[in-house]
């Protein structure tokens, strides 16, 4: 069950520690107007793999399990998302379907932003766009690490750099 409550990001004490949230005041004020704050119980599915992307979910409190599924129903966990992360970002930006299923592991507080509002927000606030690019890069690093561990069975040790 979800209930909507409004609370300002400007008052959040964890703001400086979180990449996406650490935005200039004007950007955060704008973000406050486009987000919906949700309180969700454990096991809530925020979105499912294959569903058309409707928006992003900023994890304010609580953790979420991100997983993929085969046609036969076998599930593989990609990773556990922690507070401060923005879920559904790549799908919302590209307008495609969610690549993973996100299910809450804890009772959580989530800030949801609809896709069209997110795109408008990013176009109007360059700083936020840069933060999003950095977040996506980090997501990709983690995804490649998962590919490495699943495909090669171990994690990489740094190789010596070539000239």
Partner 1 sequence: MVSGLTRASVERHRGVIMLSPYGLDIIESCLTCKMRADRIFCDLPTAALQSFEAIKYATAYPKGAVLFVEGQAPRGIFVLCKGRVKLSICATDGKTLILKIAEPGEVLGLSATVSGKPYELTAETIDPCQVNFVKREDFLRFLKDHSDACFKVAEQLSEKYNNACHEVRSLGLSHSAGEKLAKLLLEWSSRNGEAAKQEPRVKLALTHEEIAQMIGTSRETVTRLFADLKKRQIVQAKGSTLVIRNKVALKAMATNT
In the block, which residue shows the tokens 């299910």?
A: 103
Decide if residue 9 touches partner 1 (CB under 8 A).
no
Which range, of 10-18, 21-29, 104-112, 123-131, touches partner 1 by CB under 8 A? 123-131
- The reply to whether 76 sits near partner 1 by the rule CB under 8 A is yes
Q: Is 87 helix (H, G, I), strand (E, B) or coil?
A: strand
Should residue 107 be labelled a site residue for partner 1 when binding is judged by CB under 8 A?
A: no
> Quick check: 60 and 126 in contact, CB under 8 A?
no
137-143 contact pairs (CB < 8 A, 24+): 138/19, 139/89, 139/90, 142/78, 142/79, 143/78
The reply on whether position 45 binds partner 1 by CB under 8 A is: no
Q: How far is the CB of 39 from partner 1 (least distance, A)?
A: 28
Q: Are strands 75-81 and 86-87 parallel, antiparallel or unpaired?
A: unpaired
8 A C-beta contact, residue 59 and residue 28: no
Task: Select the residue interacting with partner 1 from 28, 90, 104, 121 (CB under 8 A).
Answer: 90
- Residue 157, classified by CB atoms within 10 Å of its CB into exposed (0-12), middle (13-18) or buried (19+), is exposed
CB nearer to partner 1: pick between 42 and 48:
48
Q: Which residues contact 4 (CB under 8 A, 6 or more apart)?
A: 36, 37, 38
Of the pair 25, 137, the CB lying nearest partner 1 is at 137
- Contact flag: residue 26 with partner 1 (CB under 8 A): no
Give the number of residues in contact with partner 1, rule: CB under 8 A: 48
Q: Which stretch binds partner 1 (CB under 8 A): 7-15, 31-39, 107-115, 122-130?
A: 122-130
**Residue 143 interacts with partner 1 (CB under 8 A)?**
yes
Where do contacts with partner 1 occur on this chain (CB under 8 A)?
68-72, 74, 76, 78, 89-91, 93-94, 96, 99-100, 122-123, 126, 129-130, 132-134, 136-141, 143-148, 150-154, 156-162
């Amino acid at each position: 069950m979800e209930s909507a409550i409004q609370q300002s990001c400007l008052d959040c004490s964890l703001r400086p520690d979180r990449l996406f949230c650490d935005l200039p005041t004007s950007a955060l004020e704008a973000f406050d107007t486009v987000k919906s704050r949700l309180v969700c119980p454990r096991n809530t599915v925020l979105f499912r793999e294959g569903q058309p992307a409707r928006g992003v979910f900023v994890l304010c409190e609580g953790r979420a399990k991100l997983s993929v599924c085969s046609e036969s129903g076998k599930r593989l966990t990609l990773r556990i998302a922690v507070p401060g992360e923005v879920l559904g970002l790549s799908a919302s930006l590209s307008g495609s379907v969610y690549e993973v299923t996100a299910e809450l592991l804890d009772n959580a507080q989530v800030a949801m932003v609809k896709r069209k509002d997110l795109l408008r927000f990013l176009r109007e606030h360059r700083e936020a766009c840069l933060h999003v690019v950095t977040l996506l890069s980090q997501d990709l690093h983690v995804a490649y690490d998962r590919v490495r561990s699943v495909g090669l069975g171990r994690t990489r040790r740094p190789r010596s750099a070539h000239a």
